[in-house]
Amino acid sequence: MKDDILNRLQFSLGKDADHASVYDWRMAVSLTVRDQMVDTWFNSTKEAYAASSKRVYYLSMEFLIGRLIEDMISNLQLEDTVRGALTDLGQDFDEIVHDEPDAALGNGGLGRLAACFMDSLATLGIPAFGYGIRYEHGLFEQSFAQGQQVERPETWLNQRHAWEFERPEVQFPICFGGHVDHHDGKTTWHPSEKVLATAYDTPVIGWKNEWGNTLRLWSAEPVSQFDLDSFNRGDYLAAGRSEALARTISRVLYPDDTTDSGKELRLKQEYFFTAASIQDLMRRYLQDHDDLRQLPEHVAIQLNDTHPAIAGPELVRVLVDEHGIDMAEAIPLARACLAYTNHTLLPEALEKWGEWLLGRILPRHLEIIRIIEETQQREHPGSPRILEHGDVRMGELAFIMAHKVNGVSALHTELVKETVFADLHRIHPTRIINQTNGITPRRWLYNCNPGLRDLITDAMGDGWVADLEQLTALKAKRDDAAFMQAFQASKRDNKAALSNWIGQTCGIALDPDAMFDVQIKRIHEYKRQLMNLLETVALWNDMRDNPDHDWTPRVKIFGGKAAPGYYMAKDIIRLINDVAEVINNDPATKGRLKIVYPPNYNVTMAERLIPASDLSEQISTAGKEASGTGNMKFALNGALTIGTLDGANVEIREHVGSENFFLFGLTAAEVMERRQHHGYARAAIEASPRLQRVLGQIAEGRFAPHDTGRYHGVVGMLYDHDYFLVTCDFDSYFDAQRRADNAYQNADNWAAMALMNTASMGWFSSDRTIKGYARDIWNAHPPRAAMDRSA
Ligand code: 73E
C-alpha cells in the first residue's frame, strides 16, 4: 500500500513526497484505493452478464453522496492498511480524509436516500446502476452575514474527483425541440437542438462482499466544440455560444427541496438524464437479447419521484419509433419495466408542466402522452387525467405508466391512497404499496461513530454491519454495568469532540454534559424549526424567572439551508441567529442554555452531529413529512426522539417502544380536522400565556433591537394563518420537552433508553428497504445467491 501510494503520488500527481500537499496525498490515497476496486467491479459486471441477471436502474435527479473516501476504504476492509501506510509515510489519516469535499449532488432526504440505496444494492449483490446528473455545482454553500443566509456556488469539481472514471466512449445524443412528421405510418421527430450526454462512472462496492455496481452520472456537452466559422469571422462570443448552452444543462442542481421550480431548464435536465439512461440500458439489453418483448424480465427502472417521469413516454417512443413495436403493445411493455416512488404529498412539490412548454421542448413526447391518456380513458373511463387545465401532471403520468407505486413510510403510503392518488387507487387497487425508507448502517454508524461501533463489535462481532437486526442482542446489555458505562462514555466522547469543533468553528463554548438537542434538515415551515425556536425562548424566559430551579442544561443545535427564494424560511434562519445572539450573551442563563447554528450543513456535518446528539427533533406537522431519514440516523446512534406521529416516526416509535420516545402533538387526522376551525391559531395563542409572551417579545423587537419590525411578518403569519399549526402544537411540545428535561436528570435511565433506541433500529437499515423493493417491485435477485443455491 505504501509503495502504491508513493507510485500514485509520483506518476499520477507528478509530486514527490517532500513536496506533496494534503490534496496530493489524498488523491494518491484515493486513486490507490480506487485501483483496488476495479477487479471486483469488472468481475461483478461479468457475473451479471453470465447469469443474464435482471438489472435495476435507479433514476434520480439527486445523489447526495457526500464524502466517499471512508466508505470506500471501509467497504474494502482497508482501514488498517491505509492507516498503517500513512503513518509510515508520516501523514495524518484524518487530515487526509477531511480534505475531500462533499459531493452535494442533492438537496436533502430524497438525494441521500438514493445514496444509501446505492450502498445497499451493492452490499446485497444486486446488479444495479444509479443514473443521475453530474452537476458541475452541487447544492450552494451557505454562510451567514449578520444572521442572514448568503448563498455561494458550490465548487466540488474545481478539484479532480478522485472516484470517477470518465467514459468519453459512452456518449449519447439527446434531442430537444423541432417538429414531428407522420408519413406512411412512420413517425419521425426532427429536433431543432442536440447535446451529448457523456458518462462518468463511480464504482460502488458493497460491504465486505466483493460486489461492485456503478453510479453513472451524465454530463452535458456540445455536439461540436465550437463554431470555427464564427471564430474566423472574429465573432468570438458566437463561437462558444452553443457550447455554453449545452453545458448549462448539467451546470447546477436546482436548490429547491420539496418544491417544483417549474423552469424550462429543469425540464431539459430531467429529459436529458432520463433519455441518456434509457439509451444506455437499451444498448446493454440489445447486446445479448433481441426480443424486446422480454425487456421486463431483464430491466427494472425505478423512478425516484416524478423527476424522471418522462421515462414513460420516452421508453414508449423508443419502442415504437425506433424499434417498430405497436403502440398498444409498447405501453404495457414499458409499464412492466417502470415503477415510481412518491416522496411527498405537499401540493407545491407535485410537478406540472405547461402543455405548451412540454410540447415545444418534447413534441413527440406530448403526442405519446396524449395517446397514453386516451388509452387510460378507454380502459378506465372516468380515470383522473394526466392532461388538465393546460398542464401535464407528472404524478398521474408516473402512476399510470408504473406497475407499482410506492410510498416511503406506512403513514405516508396510507395518505397517498387517501389523498393525491385516491381515484387512481380505486381504479388500480393493488398498484400502491409501501416501502418504508432506511439508512445505510455502514455510513451512519460504522463510519461516523467509531466509538459506538467498536463497543458494539467488541460485544457481538461485526455481523451487525450487514445484518442490522442483530443489534437487538444489545438489549440484554442494559443490565451490564460495565457495558452501560462504556456506552455512556462513547456518547460523552462524541459530545466533547463536537464541542471542540464548535468552539473552533463558531467560537461558542459548550458544556459536553448539557443535553445536546439537535434539529438538522432543510429549513421549511412544515418541519417547524420555528416551533423549536419559540420553545427555546419560552425556556429562556422560565429560566430567568426561576433562576434557582434545577434546570437541565441544554444546547440547541440547528443546521440546514433554505431554498434561496423561500423568504419565510430565510426569515426563520435570521430569527434563530438573532435569538442566539441574545441568549448566548445573557449572563442569567450562562451554562444552562446555548444556541448554535453552524453554517453550511451537509452530509459531513451530519456525520459529526448525529453521533454527538442526545435529543433528535422530528417535529413536523403530522401528515407532512413523508418519512424522514435523519430521524433513523439519530435513533440508531442512541439519541432519543422528540416527535410527532408523522412519517417514519410512527414506525420508529413502534420499534423502540413508546416509553423511549417523547411524543407530542396532533395526529394527521386531527390536523386536518383543526384546519376546518376558523381562527384556530388565534385561539391557540390566546389559550397559551407562555406562547403569547414569546410572540410578544419577538414582535416588539426583543431580538432585533435596532430593527424592531423585522419579525412582524413571522409573528403575523402565526396569528393569521399558521398553516402548519405551530401554535396549536406549542404547549404539547413544551410539555414533552420538560419530560425530556426530567428524564435527562437520571443519566443511567437516559442511557438505558438510548440503548433501547440503538438496539431496536435494525429494521431501519436500507438493506431491509432494498430487499423489499427487490421482492415486491423489481423481482431482482443477486446472481451469487442463485449460484450458491445451485452449488
Ligand atoms: O420526508 C422526506 C423523505 O424522507 C421527503 O420530504 C423527501 O424525501 C425523503 C426520502 O423519501 C422529499 N424530497 C422531495 N420530495 N420529498 C423533493 C421534491 C422536489 C425536489 C427535491 C426533493
- Cβ of 395 below 6 Å from ligand 1: no
Any idea of the CA torsion for 8, 13, 17, 22, to the nearest 10 degrees? -110
Amino acid identity for residue 376 in this structure:
Q
- Cβ of 113 below 6 Å from ligand 1: yes
- Cβ of 434 below 6 Å from ligand 1: no
What residues contact 789, with CB distance under 8 A and at least 6 apart? none
- Closest CA to ligand 1's atom 2: 628
CA of 138 to the centre of ligand 1 (A): 17
Q: What is the DSSP letter of 645?
A: S
Enter the C-alpha cell of residue 279: 439509451
Among 107, 110, 436, 440, which residue has the most ligand 1 atoms within 8 Å of its CB, making it the best to mutate?
A: 110
- Cβ of 112 below 6 Å from ligand 1: no
User: CA separation (Å) from 422 to 245, 253, 394, 419, 428?
Assistant: 41, 32, 16, 5, 10
Secondary structure element (H or E) that encloses residue 121, with its range: helix 109-123
697 in Cβ contact with 703 (< 8 Å): yes
CA of 46 to the centre of ligand 1 (A): 35
SS3 261: coil
CA–CA distance, 345 with 56 (Å, rounded to integer)? 26
Please state the atom number of ligand 1 nearest to the C-alpha of residue 647.
Answer: 1
Which residues are bridge partners to 557 per DSSP? 518, 596
- Cβ of 255 below 6 Å from ligand 1: no
Q: What share of the chain is helix, strand, coil (3-state, %, to 5)?
A: 55, 15, 30
Enter the C-alpha cell of residue 343: 416522496
- Cβ of 214 below 6 Å from ligand 1: no
Where the chain has pLDDT below 70, the residues are 786-791
Q: Could you give the maximum distance between any two Cα atoms of the chain, in Å?
A: 90
Enter the C-alpha cell of residue 388: 388538465
32 in Cβ contact with 89 (< 8 Å): no
CA of 61 to the centre of ligand 1 (A): 12
Count of helices and strands (H, E) across the chain: 33, 24
Per-residue model confidence (pLDDT) at position 786:
63
Domains of the chain: 1-50+69-101 (no CATH), 53-66+105-138+149-437+771-790 (3.40.50.2000), 441-668+731-764 (3.40.50.2000)
Q: What is the DSSP letter of 471?
A: G
Please state the atom number of ligand 1 nearest to the C-alpha of residue 62.
Answer: 21
CA of 192 to the centre of ligand 1 (A): 34
Please state the atom number of ligand 1 nearest to the C-alpha of residue 112.
Answer: 10
Enter the C-alpha cell of residue 219: 454530463
The model's pTM is 0.98
Question: Strands, E, within 680-789: which ranges?
Answer: none
- Closest CA to ligand 1's atom 14: 258
Enter the C-alpha cell of residue 225: 466544440
Enter the C-alpha cell of residue 731: 404547549
CA of 376 to the centre of ligand 1 (A): 28
Pairing between β-strand 515-520 and β-strand 554-559 as defined by DSSP bridges: parallel
Per-residue model confidence (pLDDT) at position 791:
47
407 in Cβ contact with 769 (< 8 Å): no
Q: Kindly give the residue spans of alpha helices, DSSP state H, lying in 146-293.
A: 228-233, 236-248, 264-288
| CA-based end-to-end distance of the chain | 35
Per-residue model confidence (pLDDT) at position 790:
52
Per-residue model confidence (pLDDT) at position 755:
98
Residue pLDDT, tens place only, 157-209? 999 999 999 999 999 999 999 999 999 989 999 999 999 999 999 999 999 99
CA–CA distance, 303 with 397 (Å, rounded to integer)? 12
How does DSSP assign 24-62, residue by residue? HHHHHHHHHHHHHHHHHHHHHHHHHHHTT--EEEEE-S-
CA of 344 to the centre of ligand 1 (A): 6
Q: Which residue has the cell 380536522?
A: 673
Q: Which of 66, 63, 8, 13 is nearest to 33 (CA)?
A: 8
- Cβ of 625 below 6 Å from ligand 1: yes
- Cβ of 274 below 6 Å from ligand 1: no
Q: Kindly give the residue spans of alpha helices, DSSP state H, lying in 127-235.
A: 228-233
Please state the atom number of ligand 1 nearest to the C-alpha of residue 259.
Answer: 19
Please state the atom number of ligand 1 nearest to the C-alpha of residue 113.
Answer: 10
With b for 16 or more beta-carbon neighbours within 10 A and e for fewer, the 721-757 pattern comes to ebebbbbbbbbebbebbeebbebbeeeeebbbbbbbb
Alpha carbon of residue 383 to chain centroid: 33
Q: Taking the CB of residue 47, how many other CB atoms lie within 10 A of it?
A: 17
Q: Which residue has the cell 406521529?
A: 645
Q: What is the DSSP letter of 137?
A: B
Q: Which of 212, 260, 5, 216 is nearest to 107 (CA)?
A: 260
- Cβ of 344 below 6 Å from ligand 1: yes
628 in Cβ contact with 649 (< 8 Å): yes
- Cβ of 342 below 6 Å from ligand 1: no
Q: How many CA atoms does the CB half-sphere of 391 hold within 13 Å?
A: 11
CA of 134 to the centre of ligand 1 (A): 20
Alpha carbon of residue 133 to chain centroid: 15
Angle at 440 between CA 349 and CA 645, to 5 degrees: 50
Please give the positions annotated as active site: 343, 521-522, 527, 629, 633
Q: Which residue has the cell 413571522?
A: 714
Backbone phi, psi, residue 388, to 5°: -150, 135
125 in Cβ contact with 209 (< 8 Å): yes
CA–CA distance, 508 with 505 (Å, rounded to integer)? 8
723 in Cβ contact with 735 (< 8 Å): no
SS3 760: helix
User: CA separation (Å) from 242 to 135, 236, 246, 357, 384?
Assistant: 19, 12, 6, 21, 41
CA of 14 to the centre of ligand 1 (A): 43
The region that residue 177 occupies, defined by phi over 0 for left and psi between -120 and 50 for alpha, beta otherwise, is left
CA–CA distance, 733 with 665 (Å, rounded to integer)? 7
- Cβ of 408 below 6 Å from ligand 1: yes
Among 344, 352, 413, which residue has the most ligand 1 atoms within 8 Å of its CB, making it the best to mutate?
A: 344
Please state the atom number of ligand 1 nearest to the C-alpha of residue 648.
Answer: 4
165 in Cβ contact with 132 (< 8 Å): no
Backbone phi, psi, residue 387, to 5°: -100, 120
Enter the C-alpha cell of residue 569: 424560511
User: CA separation (Å) from 506 to 95, 496, 573, 589?
Assistant: 20, 15, 16, 19
Per-residue model confidence (pLDDT) at position 472:
98
Please state the atom number of ligand 1 nearest to the C-alpha of residue 628.
Answer: 4
CA–CA distance, 104 with 602 (Å, rounded to integer)? 8
- Cβ of 415 below 6 Å from ligand 1: no
CA of 258 to the centre of ligand 1 (A): 6
Pairing between β-strand 63-66 and β-strand 103-105 as defined by DSSP bridges: antiparallel
Q: At what angle do helices 689-699 and 712-720 cross, to 10 degrees?
A: 150
Per-residue model confidence (pLDDT) at position 785:
72
CA–CA distance, 304 with 386 (Å, rounded to integer)? 19
SS3 302: strand
